[in-house]
Amino acid sequence: MVFSKTTPILRIFDEAKAKEFYIDFLDFKVDWEHRFEAGFPLYMQVSKTACTLHLSEHHGDCCPGSAMRIEAADLDALQAELLAKGYGNSRPEIQAMPWGTRDLSVTDPFGNRLTFTSAISTH
């Protein structure tokens, strides 16, 4: 059996807040949006480089308050970029974790936590 890429689904409640966080703050781009009809809940795909996420206003798709880990190459550059944007009360810090990674966590307006992580260099 062979598995391939995973696409997490995150629960959102407000399209404008979701786009402000994922597009304006994290610099993801909207790949596509879907509604079954006008006025129905939004389901959309956003991506940045190799990371793809699905964001859903549909109550049955997933639970709010999810957590995920996303591998990232340059946490220092990401942190500087995010701090420069001055998004709300978000001041993400990089933490050295006891299992050998450096982690930077942000929480979206819906309680979902995204932890960007990279291995600690031993050089």
Query: Which pLDDT tens digit goes with each residue over 78-96?
Result: 999 999 998 888 899 999 9
Question: Could you give all domains of the chain from N- to C-terminal order, each with its CATH number?
Answer: 9-119 (3.10.180.10)
Closest CA to 44 of 26, 71, 18, 5: 18
**What is the separation of C-alpha 76 from the centre of its chain, rounded to a whole number of angstroms?**
17
pTM, whole model, 2 decimals? 0.92
> What mean pLDDT value characterizes the chain?
94
Helix/strand/coil for 104: strand
Confidence of residue 122 (pLDDT cuts 50, 70, 90): low
Query: Which phi and psi angles does 63 have, rounded to 5°?
Result: -100, 145
Closest CA to 102 of 118, 115, 113, 83: 118
Rg (CA), the chain: 15
pLDDT of 25 strictly over 60: yes
pLDDT of residue 13: 94
